[in-house]
Amino acid sequence: MTATPIIIDCDPGIDDAIALLAAFVSPELDIVALTPVSGNQPIERTVRNTLQICELGGRTDVPVYAGCHRPILREPIRGQFHGKSGLGNTNLPEPSKRAEDKGAVEFLVDRLGEAARKDKPITLCCLGPMTNIAMALRIDPTVATGVARIVMMGGAYREPGNRTMTAEFNMLADPHAAHIVFSSDIPIVALALDATHQVILTPDHVRQFEAVSGRIARTVADLMAFWDRNQVERYGSRGGPLHDPLVIAWLLAPHLFETKPARIFIEHESELCMGQTVADWYNKSGQAPNAQIVTRVDASGVIALFLQLFSRYQAERAA
Amino acid sequence: MSRIPVILDTDPGVDDAAAILLALASPEFHVLGISVVAGNVGLEASVANASKLVALAQRRDVPVMAGAALPLVGTQIFGKYLQVGTFDDDLVAPTDAEPGEQSAIRFIAEQARAAGAQGRTITICAMGPLTNVALALRLHPDVARGIERIVMMGGAFTALGHRTPFAEYNILADPHAAQIVWQSGVPLVLMSLDVTFQALFTEADFAGLEAKGSPAGKALAGLLRRFDRSDVKRFGRPGGPIHDAMTVAWLLQPELFSGNDCAVGVTLYGPTAGQTWADIHNKTVQSPNAHVVNHVDEAAYRRLVVERIAGLGAAVPQRHSELRELHA
């Protein structure tokens, strides 16, 4: 089997970190690059966090390209549940790995352009605001043909928003970027709060991850424990939703997910509903679907998958 | 003489052609490159036209680069003179000059960053939708630092719109890009319809462009005649504006112009999308982010445009060799 080439666009972020650590030990995935963006934290910090996670996961071979320093139009907003550094209470060593000289947008234009020319498209995993890929699409629209699909975490359909009444954080952080991406005709798999709120990482799960994760067990447990929202009335139990890691889970085990096709629109004009994701479930728009929206997730299957992945760190093994 | 390093960001376009030729005819400039954006016409035609113009001006040393094919966020709107398309070969000779491989947007960003890193700056003349400039500013926080100012044609403050009741074309075509550029902190000089409507070119000017037998002058006169820009009902007298050339003229002879420093902004959506406002009477608490030009010495501006372009490549040996030396 040939590994699926992917680029992970991210803004670590605790759940981004868990997603990266899972991807690092998945030989099914060929990680071409990581492209951190301004999002949960300012760009300097998301880059630093990405480099630290690469070192933690033993994947210093993966190049990191620093992305956009701010959203396209709106003023930046930051994540609220990731702690001061963006990685909870962890205290990872200062990274010796460095980001590449080239910027992430330039890298995406060049690398996706090459993928388009060679007809070897790359899957893009979007875990943060979609500024980097939106910029790349506007600089050179032909990069779209270099993208096999975008698997993204963001949005909220039948579920309310998590940052405003109607908006999920990644979409609110750069709604114009999201609009550009969702207008690009690139096939999209959308993991919105509708999906991620079905997979709550409980304190009990955290103990299981700590038990299996070998040399990174301490950090993984710290990250996951920090993620506990302690909001039982909202999530049905203690714990926090496993947002970004679901992108990796979908790539590895799509059978754990049910999807429905729909056209997705991004509100980028109204202040009240800014960043709202609107799904055309019943073809009212007359436009063809641009996404598969994940509607159901086999939560225990996903947890079991991640436990299996994290247990690979016992062997000190890098994929 | 130290020349002004300038990038011409453009969507040619007939009045862009006048601006480009004026810049290429002026030894005061070091034209670093021509960054092309979709606007008046589609990107491909704009690039072809820019290439034709550098060839016409015998300045194939100036790189022409393709930029954004689409506006940032909104739906694409072309110019009123979309039918111009690629300039007709009988007016502007065909050329085998090819555009550069590099992206115009990355070129702007790299030139500005390189200048900033060396304590220099570059100037941008923006004559089309601001998509290229906005994308360049978003590529890296250092880009703004390397830009001395952006002299741009766009907007309508006391004048009403010419494309919708309230909107001038360059802003309407990409209001989001305008917002990014206007809020970037880079010093701005705005040539809105308020001032571009004050200078109308008539047949006497077209004849002046041709007077010295310059191929550039003849081509521009031909374009202006074929795509008549006059509107007696609106302007109250014969003649048509050449909007974009004012950006270049301001850099050459700022004393021909006057205006105010004020806060400016743009409406992004709704029926007045693309409308621009300028706080001429200090009604907001926002500090000025632009120099809004509101008056031009019409006769002197027309003379500058006509004489410079009429002399471009015309058989005046002394002047010509002087220019060549400067351009070498």
pLDDT digits (tens, 9 = 90+) for A227-248: 998 889 889 899 999 999 999 9
pTM here is 0.94
More confident residue, A236 or B56: B56
Instruction: Report the C-alpha gap between A63 and B320 in whole angstroms.
Output: 52
Neighbour count for residue B326 (Cβ, 10 Å): 14
pLDDT for the residue B317: 47
Two structure tokens written together for B158: 């006391």
Spatial CB neighbours of B78, under 8 Å, sequence gap ≥ 6: B38, B39, B40, B41, B42, B173
Query: CB-hemisphere CA count at 13 Å for A188?
Result: 31
Instruction: Report the C-alpha gap between B316 and B132 in whole angstroms.
Output: 37
Contact A269 B140 (CB under 8 A): no
pLDDT at residue A203 tops 90: yes
Amino acid letter for position A148: A
In this structure, are residues A141 and A182 in contact, taking their beta carbons and an 8 Å threshold? Answer: no
Contact A72 B106 (CB under 8 A): no
Spell out which residues of chain B touch residue A68, defining contact as CB-CB under 8 Å: 138-139
pLDDT for the residue A230: 86
Gap from B248 CA to chain A (nearest CA, Å)? 26
Cis peptide before A13 (omega within 30 of 0): yes
Residue A270: closest CA among chain B residues belongs to which residue?
A: B269
Name the region of B170 (left: φ>0; alpha: ψ -120 to 50; beta: rest).
alpha
User: Using only C-alpha atoms, what is the Rg of chain B?
Assistant: 18
Residue B109: closest CA among chain A residues belongs to which residue?
A: A106
pLDDT for the residue A20: 98
Instruction: Report the C-alpha gap between B118 and B142 in whole angstroms.
Output: 12
In this structure, are residues A272 and A47 in contact, taking their beta carbons and an 8 Å threshold? Answer: no
pLDDT for the residue A311: 97
Cis peptide before B13 (omega within 30 of 0): yes
pLDDT at residue A134 tops 60: yes
Contact A138 B103 (CB under 8 A): no
Contact B73 A176 (CB under 8 A): yes
Quote the DSSP letter at residue A140: -
- Split at pLDDT 50, 70, 90, the class of B82 is confident
Percent of chain B residues topping a pLDDT of 70 = 95
Amino acid letter for position A198: Q
More confident residue, A247 or B162: A247
The pairing of strands B4-10 and A277-280 is: unpaired
E-state strands within B43-133: 64-66, 122-126
Two structure tokens written together for B250: 């301001």
Q: For an interface test with A, which of B35, B44, B139 has the most A Cβ atoms less than 10 Å from its Cβ? A: B139
pLDDT at residue A146 tops 50: yes
From the list B139, B180, B270, the residue facing A103 with the nearest CB is B139
pLDDT at residue B327 tops 70: no
**Of how many residues is chain B composed?**
328
The number of C-beta contacts closer than 8 angstroms across A and B is 49
From the list B106, B176, B268, the residue facing A106 with the nearest CB is B106
Instruction: Report the C-alpha gap between A133 and A140 in whole angstroms.
Output: 10
pLDDT for the residue B141: 95
pLDDT for the residue A318: 45
Instruction: Report the C-alpha gap between A283 and A262 in whole angstroms.
Output: 8
What is B193-235 written as a DSSP string? HHHHTT-EE-HHHHHHHHTT--HHHHHHHHHHHHT----HHHH
pLDDT at residue A71 tops 90: yes
Query: CB-hemisphere CA count at 13 Å for A173?
Result: 29
Q: Which of the residue ranges A41-55, B89-103, B282-296, B310-324 would you say has the lowest mean pLDDT? A: B310-324
Gap from B205 CA to chain A (nearest CA, Å)? 39
Spell out which residues of chain B touch residue A105, defining contact as CB-CB under 8 Å: 139
Contact B135 A138 (CB under 8 A): yes
Residue B71: closest CA among chain A residues belongs to which residue?
A: A138
Report phi then psi at B265, rounded to 5: -155, 175
For residue A243, give the nearest of A36, A10, A16 by alpha carbon.
A16
Spell out which residues of chain B touch residue A73, defining contact as CB-CB under 8 Å: 73, 176, 179-180
pLDDT at residue B27 tops 90: yes
In this structure, are residues B130 and B103 in contact, taking their beta carbons and an 8 Å threshold? Answer: no
Put simply, whether A185 touches B (Cβ < 8 Å) is no
For residue A67, give the nearest of B32, B133, B138 by alpha carbon.
B138
Contact B68 A138 (CB under 8 A): yes
Instruction: Report the C-alpha gap between B252 and B234 in whole angstroms.
Output: 29
pLDDT at residue A109 tops 90: yes
Instruction: Report the C-alpha gap between B327 and A170 in whole angstroms.
Output: 50
Two structure tokens written together for A234: 């909202």
Gap from B74 CA to chain A (nearest CA, Å)? 9
Neighbour count for residue B285 (Cβ, 10 Å): 7
Spell out which residues of chain B touch residue A139, defining contact as CB-CB under 8 Å: 68, 103, 105-106, 135
> Using CB atoms within 10 A of its CB, is residue B61 exposed (0-12), middle (13-18) or buried (19+)?
exposed
Spell out which residues of chain B touch residue A106, defining contact as CB-CB under 8 Å: 106, 139
Q: Note if A243 is an active site residue.
A: yes
Percent of chain A residues topping a pLDDT of 90 = 94
From the list A73, A140, A141, the residue facing B176 with the nearest CB is A73
> Using CB atoms within 10 A of its CB, is residue A97 exposed (0-12), middle (13-18) or buried (19+)?
middle
Contact A70 B268 (CB under 8 A): no
pLDDT at residue B315 tops 80: no
- Split at pLDDT 50, 70, 90, the class of B316 is low
pLDDT digits (tens, 9 = 90+) for B114-133: 999 999 999 999 999 999 99
Two structure tokens written together for B140: 């890296």
Instruction: Report the C-alpha gap between A102 and A98 in whole angstroms.
Output: 12
Contact A138 B176 (CB under 8 A): no
* Residue of B162, B176, B243, B291 marked catalytic: B243
DSSP 3-state of B33: strand
- Average pLDDT value over all residues in chain B: 94
Contact B138 A139 (CB under 8 A): no
Measured in whole angstroms, the distance separating CA A248 from the mean position of its chain's CA atoms is 8
Instruction: Report the C-alpha gap between B137 and B113 in whole angstroms.
Output: 10
pLDDT for the residue B84: 86
Spell out which residues of chain B touch residue A176, defining contact as CB-CB under 8 Å: 72-73, 176
- Split at pLDDT 50, 70, 90, the class of A316 is low
Spatial CB neighbours of A273, under 8 Å, sequence gap ≥ 6: A166, A167, A267
- Split at pLDDT 50, 70, 90, the class of B328 is very low
Instruction: Report the C-alpha gap between B290 and B195 in whole angstroms.
Output: 15
Instruction: Report the C-alpha gap between B12 and B2 in whole angstroms.
Output: 28
Put simply, whether A117 touches B (Cβ < 8 Å) is no
Measured in whole angstroms, the distance separating CA B22 from the mean position of its chain's CA atoms is 10
